[in-house]
Structure 1
Amino acid sequence: MFKKLVENRKTSPLQQNGASFLLSQSDKYLEKLQEQLTAQIDKRLARTFFDLFVVILTFRNRSMGLLLSELGGYICGFAHAPAGTKRISNLLRCKKWEASLIDQFLFDQAKSRIEHFRAKTKKALLLWDDSRIEKPESWFAQGLCSVWSSKGKRLTKIKRGFYLPPMSRICVPGFKWTAILVSALGETPRVCQMSWWTTRGKFKEEGSNIMYRMLKKLKEQIGRGAVHVMDRGYAKSKVLEWLFDFEQDFIIRWKKNHLLAHEQKGQKKTHLLARSFKAMAYRSVWDKERKKQKRISIAWTPIHHLEYPDNQLFLVIVRDKNNYNNPMYLITSLAIKHSQDAWDVCSAYMHRWNVEQAFRFGKSELAMESPRLWFWDNRLKLLAIVSLVYDFLLRMIQYWKDWLNIFLKQWCHRTGNRYRQASIPIYRLRQAISYCLFFALAQNSG
């Protein structure tokens, strides 16, 4: 459907400049990947791949966004929805291609972007984090394991005037999700890798293996060209060992009860060691998560990890001057000689929030928790295509900022001074693209 519109856009009845632009940009974005797919699978399946990509852009529904029966209506028209569903099923079941093909495509793009940052003397940031896909109603699908339910925790949060909910951790069926975004300070993030894995059954995997393979690939193909930014879940000696072995720079938010070594202060827990160092610089920053201005202070000192005394590290202590939030402890392999270096480390870690936003957008707007596929490999292929859609949206924001203002005004207009002053939200962009492409489908079907 959509592939035919791209190939015949000169003679097509399609009159929309917006839809034509979106389809041509999608075709350009997937050009190299489609060439590789055409060499491995049937040409008709490669066409279905492009159509499925555009359909995921078009159809917005959190609970049913990735159901094949729903997507099929957009492939062949709603009167022939079963035929469209069959085409998508044939694409995902095809054994001649794997989700690793999309992983390599995203990694090649991230590699070229890191080299671009290096040429501009910017520090490339690789933003790491883990999440989970919850499937509480599923039971027999392949690859399910026990995951901690963040949704269950949120729903059972204590509220005044209601009964006391259960306090123990809630676990549901699901699988793990590891994401890596590539970015730099002041730049739009892009997808480097998204991996889904399970801890049970035939497809059992360890999350540490994913990290090891990624660090090894970076060492072989890029070298020491990026800074890994990680949260407290990665504050482990094993992670430090791999980062040192593969000669990678890093910034990790450290846990307050872990031991660190200082030349004058000796061995102390992180929060006890940090007490010895007073603020060295102050700055007012905007906390965009809490929507308020904050006055923070920063201090730093050289330290060593007990298991790796030969590797010089630096501890950066970030404090809220009004004590609204607990101090933040960051350890880094980057040399800190003056206050600006310390502020850069703090800003780089705060930039890591973009990967948290990627998880939220994937679950809410891209419906990553909605697929009902029995086989694990088929599910990985579908989720890999969804990660392509997310990267494409980020690419639109990166390269077409001026065009987006006009596009949003036509297809997702909002009133009020707040919307005129705010940066372009990716949620509004997705909604505008959905309306635009659906209108093109309605014009050219039936």
Structure 2
Amino acid sequence: MNSMEIYQTKRHLNTFIDKLTKGLSKPRQKFFRDLVYGISKANSVILSDIGRSLEEECDIQYIIKRLSRQLTKGADSSILHQNYLNSIKKAIPDNALILVDQSDIIKPYAEKMEALSPVFDGSTKKIEKGYHTINFSTATIQTKHPIPLYSHVCSSKEEQFQSLNVEEIKGFQMIHEVMGEKPCTFVMDRGYDSNVMYEAIDKLDRQFVTRLKDNRYLIHKNKRVKVPTLANKRKGKINFCTEIKGKTYHLKVSHVKVKLPILKETPLNMIVVYGYGQKPMKLLTNHEIKGKHDVLRILKAYITRWRIEELFRVQKQEFHLEAMRTMSLMSLRTLYRIVNYVIGYYSLLIEKNTGLTQIILARSQSSNPLSKIKFYLYRMIRGVRAILSSDKKGINHFHFVKRRTSQLTLW
């Protein structure tokens, strides 16, 4: 591997780490530098893999103990997260789409990990041991790559845990504070089609797009109507062609003015989409609709939501998230945040499309040409790993360490 490519990759990564750890103590800066570099090089959250990737001369067991000890300290997590938000705030677009969804970390064979709780595993459709994750992300303007904004791991076995709804609302409130006066739209799947979520978003005076469940009742012309009944009366007057998850769909779209029984004073619109599945897809939004352009804008916003599912896939496939073996919940939360910060860093690098971006993408050794790829995150992650795998010095030589000088006073 070209030594200049290794140097440029490490220098750019080190600049990101410096921004991320600004204001932290020297030991904590070194710890997060090791963690970010190790995860980037090893593509793993297993401490032994991270430790070996640091290329330190000391015993690997000592490195693992050092990392494990530092992981349990979470007092500076708020500073770290604020630094991360400061580093990505320029990439958050005006009228941003905030992609919201839950995921999970399944640990079916774990016995001693802290606060293991029953979790529904979406892949096996069974209840397993593990943790819930709550995720709020946005997408880059040009390439539509996910930028995590809020990532939290929680467990129903925690002493302070009240409910998943409460934890979700904390996320909505945090994003509301981050966005300030900037407008944004929360884009959500059917799991968020609940009165509690609608009331919480309404109190924040934010806009939303949600996919509706079929058991939902809406008010149309002062009558309670079930969602499928109302949707079947709209056959789709607007034609729209789009690509979703690599497959092309020819859709027909309609909309109708409705209200929610719990928000009778709030005007809403239901958008009905034919052509995606056997049943029409139904979306609910508080956006005002004046014509075809507004309808398609809302539909495109929901299609963008699938980027957060790609984020979950990247977490688990590329960084082997569910292989985590830390015993404490605080350690798990720290690792989860750092993985998402690294993904955000990669998404920004893809969006900027610099010479370094092209070098990294070219080193991923993918069989597909770049011209045929629309989602570059997998290739970016593997390209960084390929470059750093030839690095035998580690990351800490980039960091200037101020050494104490002996002082001799002559009287």
Q: Verify: 1:429 aligned to 2:380, yes or no.
A: yes
CA distance in 2, matches of 1:189, 1:200: 30
Maintained 8 Å contact 1:131/1:176: yes
**SS of 2:22's equivalent?**
helix
Report the equivalent of 1:211.
168
2:307 and 2:330 map into 1 onto residues whose CA distance is 28
C-alpha distance 140-328 of structure 1, shift in aligned 2 (>3 A): same
Mapped to 1, the partners of 2:73 and 2:224 lie a distance apart of 57
2:27 is equivalent to residue 44 of structure 1: yes
| Matching residue within 247, 270, 276 for 1:315 | 270
Q: Choose the corresponding residue for 1:128, options 89, 97, 100.
A: 100
Q: 2:352 & 2:84 partners in 1: Cα distance?
A: 17
Alpha-carbon deviations, 1:228-257, whole Å to 9, x = none?
000000001111111111100000011122
Instruction: Tell me which residue corresponds to 1:348.
Output: 301
State whether structure 2 residue 140 is matched by structure 1 residue 140: no
Mapped to 1, the partners of 2:225 and 2:111 lie a distance apart of 47
In structure 2, the CA distance between the partners of 1:193 and 1:257, relative to structure 1 (3 Å rule), is same
Answer yes or no: is the 8 Å Cα contact 1:224–1:247 preserved in 2: no
1:195 aligns to what?
152
> Secondary structure at 1:152's aligned position in 2?
coil
Equivalent residues of 1:72, 1:86 under 8 A apart: no
Offset of 1:346 from its aligned partner? Answer: 0.4
Contact 1:278 1:299 (8 Å CA) reproduced? yes
**Quick one: structure 1 residues 381 and 407, their matched pair in 2 at CA, closer, same or farther if it must change by over 3 Å?**
closer
Counterpart pick for 1:383 among 336, 342, 348? 336
The whole-number CA distance in structure 1 between the counterparts of 2:380 and 2:85 is: 25
Equivalent runs, 1:216-365 vs 2, <5 Å: 216-221=173-178, 222-223=180-181, 225-263=183-221, 266-287=223-244, 289=245, 291-320=246-275, 324-365=277-318
- 1:68 is aligned, of 47, 51, 55, to 47
Distance change in 2, residues 1:425/1:224 (3 Å): closer
Choose which of 132, 136, 156 in structure 2 pairs with 1:180.
136
Question: How far off its partner does 1:98 sit?
Answer: 4.0
- 1:90 pairs with one of 69, 72, 76: 69
Q: Distance in 2 between matches of 1:148 and 1:108?
A: 34
1:4-83 → structure 2 map (5 Å cutoff):
16-38=3-25, 43-60=26-43, 65-77=44-56, 80-83=59-62
Cα distance in 2 between the residues matched to 1:103 and 1:181: 14
Q: Displacement of 1:73 after TM fit?
A: 2.0
TM-score by length of 2: 0.88
The answer on whether the counterparts of 2:39 and 2:45 sit within 8 Å (CA) in structure 1 is yes
Quick one: structure 1 residues 73 and 203, their matched pair in 2 at CA, closer, same or farther if it must change by over 3 Å?
farther
Distance in structure 2 (CA, Å) of the matches to 1:413 and 1:352:
29
- CA shift, 1:330, in A, is 0.5
Q: CA deviation at 1:286?
A: 2.3
Distance change in 2, residues 1:373/1:349 (3 Å): same
> Which residues of structure 2 form unaligned runs of 5+?
397-411
Q: SS where residue 124 of structure 2 aligns?
A: helix
Query: Distance in 2 between the 1:99 and 1:369 partners?
Result: 22
After TM superposition, the score normalised by the length of structure 1 is: 0.82
Return the offset for 1:324: 4.7
Taking only aligned residues, the RMSD between alpha carbons, in angstroms, comes to 2.5
Question: What is the total number of aligned residue pairs between the two structures?
Answer: 394
How far apart are the structure 2 equivalents of 1:113 and 1:339? 28
Percent identity at matched positions? 21
Distance 1:185 1:385, change over 3 A: closer
From the superposition, tell whether residues 254 and 47 of structure 1 become closer, same or farther in structure 2 (CA, over 3 Å). same
CA 1:130–1:443 in 2, change beyond 3 Å: closer, same or farther?
Answer: closer
Find the counterpart in structure 1 of residue 365 from structure 2.
Answer: 413
Which position in structure 1 is the counterpart of 2:404?
A: none
1:299/1:317 contact within 8 Å kept: yes
Give unpaired runs (5+ residues) of structure 1. 1-13, 154-169
